[in-house]
Structure 1
Amino acid sequence: MTTADSAATNEVRPAELTLGEHLAELRTRLLRVVIAVAAGAVVGWFVYEPVLAFVKQPYCNLPSAYRDAQGDCSLVFLRVLEPFGVRAKIALIVGLFLTAPVLFHQVWRFVVPGLTERERRYTLPFVVLSQLMFTLGAAFAYVVIPRGLGFLIGLGGEQVTTLLSVAEYVSFILTTAVAFGLVFEVPLVLVFLAAVGIVSSTQLRRFRPYALVLNAVVAALVTPTADAVTMLFMVAPMAALYEGSILAAWLIERSRRRRATAVAEGTTR
Structure 2
Amino acid sequence: MPLADHLRELRNRLAKAMLAIVITSVVAAFYSQELMDLLASPVPACEKGDLTTGGKCAVIAYSNLLSPFTTTVKVVLMAGIIVSCPVWLYQLWAFVAPGLHKTEKKYTYYFAAAAIPLFVAGAYLAFLIMPVSMKVLLSITPETAANILEVDTILDFAVRMVLIFGFSFELPLILIMLNAAGVVTGRRMLGWWRGSVMGIFVFGAIATPSTDPLGMIALSGPIILLYFLAVGFSLLNDRRRRRNDPDADLDDDEASDLDLTPAALGEVESVSATARALPEQSTGEADGGRSHRLNGYDDIT
- The aligned counterpart of 1:58 is 42
The Cα of 1:97 is off from its aligned counterpart by 2.2
SS of the equivalent of 2:43 reads: helix
Higher relative contact order (CA 8 A, sep 6+): 1
The Cα of 1:146 is off from its aligned counterpart by 1.6
Which of the numbers 169, 174, 189 marks the counterpart of 1:184?
A: 169
| Segment drifting more, 248-257 vs 231-240 | 248-257
Identity %: 28
CA contact (8 A) 1:41 1:96 kept: yes
- The aligned counterpart of 1:157 is 142
Distance 1:130 1:149, change over 3 A: same
- The aligned counterpart of 1:124 is 109
| 1:220 partner letter | A
CA contact (8 A) 2:46 2:57 kept: no
Tell me, in whole angstroms, the C-alpha distance in 2 between the residues paired with 1:200 and 1:62: 54
Tell me, in whole angstroms, the C-alpha distance in 1 between the residues paired with 2:52 and 2:154: 14
Q: Any unmatched runs of 5+ in structure 2? A: 247-301
Tell me, in whole angstroms, the C-alpha distance in 1 between the residues paired with 2:136 and 2:31: 30
Tell me, in whole angstroms, the C-alpha distance in 1 between the residues paired with 2:90 and 2:188: 28
Indicate the structure (1 or 2) with the bigger Cα radius of gyration.
Answer: 2
| 2:160 partner letter | T
Tell me, in whole angstroms, the C-alpha distance in 1 between the residues paired with 2:47 and 2:233: 42
Matches within 5 A, 1:1-269: 33-60=17-44, 75-102=60-87, 116-258=101-243
Deviations 1:167-191, CA, capped at 9 Å, x for gaps: 2112212221122111112222222
Tell me, in whole angstroms, the C-alpha distance in 2 between the residues paired with 1:108 and 1:100: 12
> Normalization by structure 2: what TM-score?
0.65
SS of the equivalent of 1:198 reads: coil
SS of the equivalent of 1:164 reads: strand
The Cα of 1:82 is off from its aligned counterpart by 1.0
Deviations 1:129-167, CA, capped at 9 Å, x for gaps: 222111111111112112211111111111112222112
| Segment drifting more, 96-105 vs 185-194 | 96-105
Instruction: Please state which structure has a larger fraction of its residues in helix.
Output: 1
> Normalization by structure 1: what TM-score?
0.72
Distance 1:192 1:47, change over 3 A: farther
SS of the equivalent of 2:149 reads: coil
CA contact (8 A) 1:223 1:230 kept: yes
Q: Any unmatched runs of 5+ in structure 1? A: 1-16, 262-269
Tell me, in whole angstroms, the C-alpha distance in 2 between the residues paired with 1:97 and 1:176: 15
